[in-house]
Structures are given as C-alpha cells and as structure tokens.
C-alpha cells in the first residue's frame, strides 16, 4: 500500500474531538441517571463499584471512630458509673412488665387460639452498628456494617430501642443502606393507638413526618401515638413510629395537615436492629370479575397476583 | 505593553502517578466524616478542576466520569448525578484553561468559582427535578470555600514540579 496518496502520518496523536466526547459522556451519565432512578436495574454496577470503594471508605472513617473511642476511654470512671446506675434503675423499672411478658404472651397466644385468630408473629433480627450517614445531602440514609454476607435483604425494617428507624433499601456485600423514616416520601403504614384508625405516615425530609389524607374532622389529638399497623406485610404491627406534635385544620382544604416527630432516635448514632423479613401474608382474595369496565386494569392485577 | 504571563514559571513535567495520587487523596478527603459539616468543599471537584486546567491532555472527561461514578456510589446518590456534573466541569475547565492560566492566582480563583458553583447547582437541580428534598443553603457554601482553597491547592499540587531534579548552582533557571 505504498501509494502516493497515502494518509498524512500521525504527527499529533489525537483522540475524538472534545465536543463529541462531551456529548458521549453526558448522554451516558443522563442515561444511567434515568435508569437508576426509574428502573433500579443498576444495582449490580453499584455493588461492584461499592466493593472497591467500601474499604477506602472504612479507612477514611477510622480517624473519626478512633477519636470517639479515645473520648469514651477518657470519659472516666465516674460517668460510666452513673450510666451504669441509670441502666440498673431502668432495668428495675421495666422488670415488672418484662417478667410478666412471657406469661402475657403465652396467655395472648392461648386466647388468640381460643378465638381462632392467627397467632402474632414473633420479632427476631440482628443487631448492626451504624458506620456512617450517607454523604448525599438530598436524602436521609445511614450505612450499617452488615450486608449480604449476614443475610440482610432489601426491604427489611430497622428499629432501635424506642421505635422504628427505617427500612433497608440497598444491600452491599459487607454493608447495607437504611433509608430513615424521615426521608422525603418514605412511607410507613401506621395506626393511631388511641382510636385504632389506620393511616400512612410520610417523611418530610426535615426531620418530621406528616400524616396525610386524614379528613379535617378526623379524631386526632396532639400527643397521639402512631404505631405500625402491619398491613403492609413488611413491618410487624405495634412498633412505635411517631408522635403527633402539630395539627393544622384549614377549612379551605379537605385534609388536615398533621405533623409528627419520630419516636426512635432516628438521627442518632449507635446500633440498630434489622428485623428479619416477615412471613408472607395470605393471598388477597380474587377481585370480583363482574366489574367489567376496566379490562386493562384487571389484566394488570391478575398478572401481579400470578407473580405473588 | 504586553500582558505578562505572571502565573506561570517554568515547571518540571508533571508525573502521572502524582495526578492519580492527588485525585485519590481528594476522594479520601470527601469520605471523611467531616464531609457532613456545612460549607465543606467538594475536594474531588476542586482537584479535578485543577488538573483539567493545568493538564487537560492527561486529565479530562474520562477521569471526571469515573470519579463521578465513585462519588455517586460512596454518597449513596443516584448514579449519574456526580458523573454529569464532573464531566461538564472537566470539559469547561479544559476549554477555558488557556484563558484561566493567563491570570495571576487570585484572579484564577475568581474564574474558577463559577465552574465549581455550577457543579454544585447542577447536582441540586438534577435531584430537585426528580423530587428530592432541598438540602439547605449550606450546600452552596462549599464552592465558595473551594474558591478560596484554589490558591493553597495550586501551591500544594504544583510542589513536586517546582524542584529541579539535580541541584546545579550554575544552572540558569
């Protein structure tokens, strides 16, 4: 091929034009942004990158935890003793209830059997240590030190000693990400203890929660306790979630605005317990076929039921 | 009178491993628990911007993309959020590099400020557009701190290039 009209020799090695590269990279990043947000199908990519990044992140967290350790070491005998006393006192306070708990549970089980009501499921789980909060300023998430290796799966609820903290949303090999209940639009199905009314509580993103879609004349008072209703098949019923702190009843709107604060130390550091997944709920009864007006909707519902 | 090219003195060629090391160090600084403090700069954006201005042939959009992916995963953010912002930052920084390097250091910092601010604003816009929570104004202080850090960053990152390989008293420069 030693012709006369050969291409000029490559004096300057150049890649593709910058603008072409820019278009390519922007297209790729926007594509993965949309795919990750809408279809959540990039978890394998995320997990494989996390496998590389995770050790580095742990190393970066070491100085902070060393300082914490030193602080607690230097805290001294006195404060530890007071804490110990307080704990003993608290233990004594709860002792009467705890000692009768076993008996109460047995009694409850027997009575439920007597009434032919399904037994309550027992809660079990594993304690995990919070490693750090995720740096993303747009959401409220924490990272804990157990992951796929410990058998944790996405969707499991997390509680602390006071109440519900959040829900596992992503699992990595050695860590898991828990979305707090105060994260924007994080949803927990709840029940008002005083009246037994069911509802759904939404995170607001500013450390508060809102009880939405309650009519303006609903029987809700400041100080009402909300516990998980258990209707979702994820949270066991009866865990405290939030307490109502403020109610705005405006006749211009059909719904009242009800603000709550979480009961668990959602923004605290420490340990959380990741509860094991619940047993699957019994299947929903089939829809009545004679409605007839929405053939499309019915097909979708049938498909969903087949999957379950 | 001709404008003087004051910001540039004759430097040794940059060592690729030092660029790599500085970018990794910046990522480590981002992973520190201090990253939660309000007004903490995005170290990766600062160092990436620096090398895109100084060495746009070595550090460019590819590095921006990879570092963006790493930061996305480390932050628990939506994949692609940092990638998009860093790729644009690398592109604008490298296309403005000949202009920026003409100025003395303080004015360079002023030229870089809009780029760093745009990186942060772009990410906020992307997340707000898909319904995230507003992170508060403290989120936008970071780029201004990073602008102030441009001067010490330049000094530190160019440090290995200032020293001549062998000390020779008769050497003209």
Per-residue confidence band for A298, with pLDDT thresholds at 50, 70 and 90: very low
- The reported pLDDT for the residue numbered B166 is 66
Of A16-25, A194-203, A222-231, B159-168, the range with the lowest mean pLDDT is B159-168
CB contact under 8 A, B136 and A137: yes
pLDDT of residue A24: 93
Mean pLDDT lowest among A107-116, B4-13, B71-80, B127-136: B4-13
3 state DSSP class of A261: strand
The span from the CA of B92 to the CA of B100, in Å, is 11
The model's confidence at residue A307, banded by pLDDT at 50, 70 and 90, is: very low
Predicted confidence band at A29 (pLDDT cuts at 50, 70, 90)?
very high
From the CA of A296, how many Å to the nearest CA of chain B?
A: 28
Range of the domain at A35: 17-74
Q: Which pLDDT value is given to residue A43? A: 83
How high is the pLDDT of residue B19?
Answer: 93
Confidence of residue A10 (pLDDT cuts 50, 70, 90): low
Q: A261 or A117, which is more confident?
A: A261
Distance CA A130, CA A270 (A): 6
The residue-averaged pLDDT of A193-205 equals 88
CATH number, domain of A153, equals 2.40.10.340
Could A56 and B84 be called an inter-chain contact, meaning their C-beta atoms sit closer than 8 Å?
no
Same domain, yes or no, for A138 and A248?
yes
- Looking at the partner chain, which of A33, A50, A185 has a beta carbon nearest the beta carbon of B73? A50
Tell whether the model's pLDDT for residue A308 goes beyond 50: no
Indicate if the pLDDT at residue A268 is higher than 60: yes
Q: Which helix (H) or strand (E) holds A284?
A: none
Of A272, A176, A196, nearest to A237 (Cα)? A196
- What confidence category does residue B112 fall into, taking pLDDT thresholds of 50, 70 and 90? very high
Same domain (yes/no): A61, A135: no
Is A93 inside any structural domain? no
The CA distance from A244 to A222, in Å, is: 5
The reply to whether A141 and A54 lie within a common domain is no
Contacts of A220 (CB under 8 A, 6+ apart): A192, A195, A197, A211, A214, A244, A247, A256, A258
CA distance B48 to chain A (A): 16
Instruction: Tell the residue number behind the tokens 């998980």, with chain if given.
Output: A228
Give the one of A28, A53, A138 whose C-beta lies nearest to B73's C-beta: A53
The answer to whether the Cα torsion of B166, B170, B172, B173 is positive or negative is positive
Report the pLDDT value the prediction gives residue B74, as an integer from 0 to 100: 87
Residue A44 to residue A50: CA distance in whole angstroms: 10
Helix (H, G, I), strand (E, B) or coil at A106: helix
- Residue B113's pLDDT is 94
Q: Is residue A79 part of a domain?
A: no
At A46-67, the pLDDT tens digits run 888 888 888 888 888 887 778 8
In this prediction, residue B7 has a pLDDT band, given cuts at 50, 70 and 90, of very low
The pLDDT, as a whole number, for residue B3 is 46
pLDDT in tens, B37-51: 778 899 999 999 999
| Buried b / exposed e along B82-114 (16+ C-beta atoms within 10 A) | bbbbbbbbbbbbbebeeebebbeeeebbebbbe
Cβ distance A25 to B87 less than 8 Å, yes or no, reads yes
pLDDT at residue B163 tops 80? no
Whether A184 and B132 lie within 8 Å, measured CB to CB: yes
CB within 8 Å: A135 and B80: no
Number of domains in chain A: 2
Highest-pLDDT range among A218-222, B62-66, B158-162: B62-66
Q: Do both A145 and A209 map to the same domain?
A: yes
> Distance between CA atoms of A172 and A154, rounded to whole angstroms?
10
Closest CA to A240 of A231, A230, A228: A228
Does residue A116 fall inside a structural domain? Answer: no
Within-domain flag for A210: yes
**Cα–Cα distance, A139 to B132 (Å, whole number):** 7
What confidence score (pLDDT) does residue A1 get? 46
Complete DSSP assignment for A233-247: SSSPTT-EEEEEEEE
Residue A253 lies in a domain: yes
Residues A192, A257, single domain; the answer is yes
B121: Cα separation from own chain's centroid: 16
CA distances from B158 to B13, B44, B46, B51, B81 (A): 10, 17, 14, 10, 30
A34 and A168 share a domain? no
Cα separation, A198 vs A56, in Å, equals: 45
| More confident site: A168 or A73 | A168
Global pTM reads 0.78
In this structure, is residue A230 part of a structural domain? Answer: yes
* C-beta separation of B84 from A30 below 8 A: yes
Residues A139 and A262 in one domain: yes
CA atoms within 13 A on the CB side of B143: 20
- Residue A12's pLDDT band (cuts 50, 70, 90): low
CB contacts, 8 Å: A16 with chain B: none
Strands A240-248 and A225-228: antiparallel
- Segment A230-238 shows an average pLDDT of 85
Residues A134 and A268 in one domain: yes
Instruction: Catalogue the E-assigned strands of A216-303.
Output: 225-228, 240-248, 255-262, 271-275
pLDDT at A136 over 90: no
pLDDT at A69: 78
Lowest mean pLDDT among A116-120, A198-202, B59-63, B140-144: A116-120
Which residues does residue A249 pair with via DSSP β-bridges, in sequence order? Answer: none
Residue B56, classed as helix, strand or coil, is: coil
The B residues from 125 to 164 touching A (CB cutoff 8 Å) are 126-127, 130-136, 139
Total residue length of chain A: 308
Average pLDDT value for chain B: 86
**Optimal mutation site among A12, A18, A24, A25, interface B, most CBs of chain B within 10 A:** A25
DSSP assignment of B14-52, as one string?
Answer: PPHHHHHHHHHHHHHHHHSGGGGSTT---HHHHHHHHHH
- The answer to the question of residue A259 being in a domain is yes
B70-104 pLDDT per residue, tens: 999 888 888 899 999 999 999 999 999 989 988 88
H helices present in A10-151, as ranges: 18-38, 43-74, 77-114
- Does A102 or A301 have the greater pLDDT score? A102
ipTM: 0.84
């Amino acid at each position: 091929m030693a012709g006369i009209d050969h291409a000029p020799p490559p004096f300057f090695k150049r890649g593709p034009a910058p603008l072409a590269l820019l278009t390519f990279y922007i297209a790729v990043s926007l594509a993965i942004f949309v795919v990750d947000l809408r279809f959540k199908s990039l978890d394998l990519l995320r997990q494989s990158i996390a496998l590389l990044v995770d050790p580095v992140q742990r190393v970066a967290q070491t100085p902070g935890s060393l300082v914490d350790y030193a602080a607690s070491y230097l805290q001294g005998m006195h404060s530890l003793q007071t804490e110990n006393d307080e704990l003993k006192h608290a233990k004594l306070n709860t002792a009467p209830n705890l000692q009768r708990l076993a008996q109460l549970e047995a009694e409850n089980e027997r009575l439920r059997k007597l009434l032919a009501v399904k037994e309550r499921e027992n809660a079990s789980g594993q304690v995990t240590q919070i490693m750090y909060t995720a740096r993303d300023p747009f959401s409220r998430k924490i990272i804990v030190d157990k992951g796929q290796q410990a058998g944790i799966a996405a969707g499991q609820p997390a509680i602390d000693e006071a109440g519900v903290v959040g829900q596992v949303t992503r699992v990595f090999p050695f860590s898991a990400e828990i979305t707090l209940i105060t994260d924007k639009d994080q949803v927990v199905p709840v029940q008002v203890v005083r009246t037994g009314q069911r509802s759904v509580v939404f995170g607001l993103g500013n450390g508060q929660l809102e009880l939405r879609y309650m009519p303006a004349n609903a029987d809700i008072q400041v100080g009402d306790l909300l516990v998980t209703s258990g209707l979702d098949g994820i949270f066991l019923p009866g865990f405290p979630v939030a307490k109502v702190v403020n109610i705005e009843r405006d006749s211009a709107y059909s719904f009242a605005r009800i603000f709550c604060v979480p009961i668990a130390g959602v923004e605290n550091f420490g340990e959380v317990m990741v509860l094991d997944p619940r047993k699957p709920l019994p299947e929903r009864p089939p829809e009545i076929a004679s409605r007839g007006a929405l053939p499309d909707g019915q097909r979708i519902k049938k498909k969903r039921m087949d999957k379950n | 009178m001709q404008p003087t090219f004051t910001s540039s003195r004759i430097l040794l060629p940059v060592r690729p491993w030092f660029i790599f090391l500085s970018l990794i160090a910046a990522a480590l600084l981002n992973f520190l628990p201090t990253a939660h403090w309000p007004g903490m700069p995005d170290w990766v954006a600062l160092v990436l911007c620096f090398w895109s201005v100084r060495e746009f042939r070595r550090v460019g959009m590819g590095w921006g993309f990879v570092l963006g992916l790493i930061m996305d995963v480390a932050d628990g953010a939506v994949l692609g959020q940092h990638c998009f912002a860093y790729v644009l930052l690398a592109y604008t920084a490298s296309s403005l590099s000949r202009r920026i390097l003409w100025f003395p250091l303080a004015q360079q910092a002023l030229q870089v400020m809009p780029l760093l601010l745009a990186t942060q604003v772009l990410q906020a816009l992307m997340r707000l557009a898909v319904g995230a929570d507003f992170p508060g104004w403290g989120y936008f202080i970071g780029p201004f701190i990073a602008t102030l850090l441009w001067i010490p960053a330049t000094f530190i990152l160019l440090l290995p290039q200032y020293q001549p390989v062998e000390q020779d008293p008769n050497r003209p420069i």
